Structures are given as structure tokens and as C-alpha cells.
Amino acid sequence: DLQMTQSPSTVSASVGDRVTITCRASQNIGSWLAWYQQKPGKAPDLLISKASSLESGVPSRFSGSGSGTEFTLTISSLQPDDFATYYCQQYNSHAFTFGQGTNLEIK
Amino acid sequence: EVQLVQSGTEVKKPGTTVKISCRVSGHTFIDYYIHWVRQAPGKGLEWVGLVDPEDHETIYAEKFQGRVTIIADRSADTAYMEVRSLTSEDTAVYYCASPGTPHVTRYFHHWGQGSLVTVSS
């Protein structure tokens, strides 16, 4: 089975910091990777699709990169609204897998 | 505006069955796959399966094969997920979700509000 490994599992940062979250796939998934933000008690929100395409309405401080097996989500300057949990998700041959999540907390 | 509205909280005993609904509005129901994703308390997201409302094709994650059924009722623009032989490990919030592009299913643009299922004796 295709596995997605996110790191770190928790990151502590301050408003204005630059933060990078990594997601590694156990096999080549091309660019079929998405990033979601989830806040407590809410459904996830899609931030980025196809590894680097920013969804409509998502602030430009979010960016995604990578292909193959290694991907990153970068938040260039953290805002108070960004403290949440982030998940990567891959699509490969009608199988969908999420990373285990990264909790972004206030330092 | 696309909306996915799910049925409410369920409390079930071990060994029983739960059926959750997801009513879709704002786009043409048969053009968009419906997925189900669950999240156990304090845990991450887990994909359960999908249905193509156009031809009723279903695909399930391997761990749910044989215990979960997902259907699409085109007359009601509603998808359903049934989970049988419930155990405490099925306690979770269950979300329905759909992509933003018709006839393509790679990402989940739209989500329901979630349905909490608690399995307890």
C-alpha cells in the first residue's frame, strides 16, 4: 500500500515565521498531491492541489512544491488564522491516502 | 454554492449497523463523485470509499471492503454510507466530500459538516 509520511508531526512557531511541512510518498505519485488545513471541529479545507496549484481564495503566503515522492507546504509569514492541522493527500489509481497530519501550534 | 449536508449524530451498539446520508446541492449530482472520509477522535483523516453517481460504481479502501456500502440516490441527490458490524474502533466523525471538477476525482474541494458516530455498549 502507498504510504504518506508527514514531518514534523508538530511544529511550534510564531506569527511572522516561515514554516515548511514535508510529505513523503512511499512510491512515485507524480504531482497528484493536495494539502488541506483543518481547524478543530471543522471539516478540512483544500489549500493546494496538484502539488503546487493554489486554490481560489487561499492566501498567497501558502505555497506547495515537489513531485515524485517528496513534497513541501510552505507558509511564508504565519498569521494568527494559520494555526491549525495540515494534511497532505495523494491520489494514485483510485486510491486515496492522507498523511498523519502536522499540528501547527503557537510558540 | 455547492453544499453537502449530512445527517446527524448516531449512537450505536457494537455489532449493529449505521447509515449516514449526504445531500448535495449547488451542482449536478451525477457529474461529481462522492467520497467518504472518517476521523477518529484526536486522529487523522482516513479515506473510506467513493461512489460515482452517474453509473453507481464504487471503490472502497481495502480495510473497509465487505463491511461498508456506499450508494447514490439520483432521485434525491443524496449519497449514503452504511457501515456494518460496528466496533468501538468505528467511533469517528464521518465526512462526505466531493471534487470541484466534474467526472474527475483526485481532490476534495467540498465537504459536508461531518456526522459523529459513537459506538458504545
Strand ranges (E), chain B: 3-6, 10-12, 18-25, 34-39, 45-51, 58-60, 68-73, 78-83, 92-98, 110-111, 115-119
Contact B111 A44 (CB under 8 A): yes
d(CA B108, CA A89): 10
User: Between A and B, how many CB-CB pairs are < 8 A?
Assistant: 53
- Encode pLDDT of A37-79 as tens digits: 999 999 999 999 999 999 999 999 999 999 999 999 999 999 9
Percentages (nearest 5) of helix, strand, coil residues in chain B: 5, 45, 45
**Hey, is the C-beta of B45 within 8 angstroms of any chain A C-beta?**
yes
- Encode pLDDT of B66-118 as tens digits: 999 999 999 999 999 999 999 999 999 999 999 988 888 889 999 999 999 99
The rounded mean pLDDT for chain B is 96
Say whether pLDDT at A94 is over 90: no
- Encode pLDDT of A70-80 as tens digits: 999 999 999 99
**What sections of A1-107 are H helices per DSSP?**
none
Residues of B in contact with A39 (CB under 8 A): none
A36, A43, A45 member nearest B113 (Cβ)? A43
d(CA B62, CA B80): 19
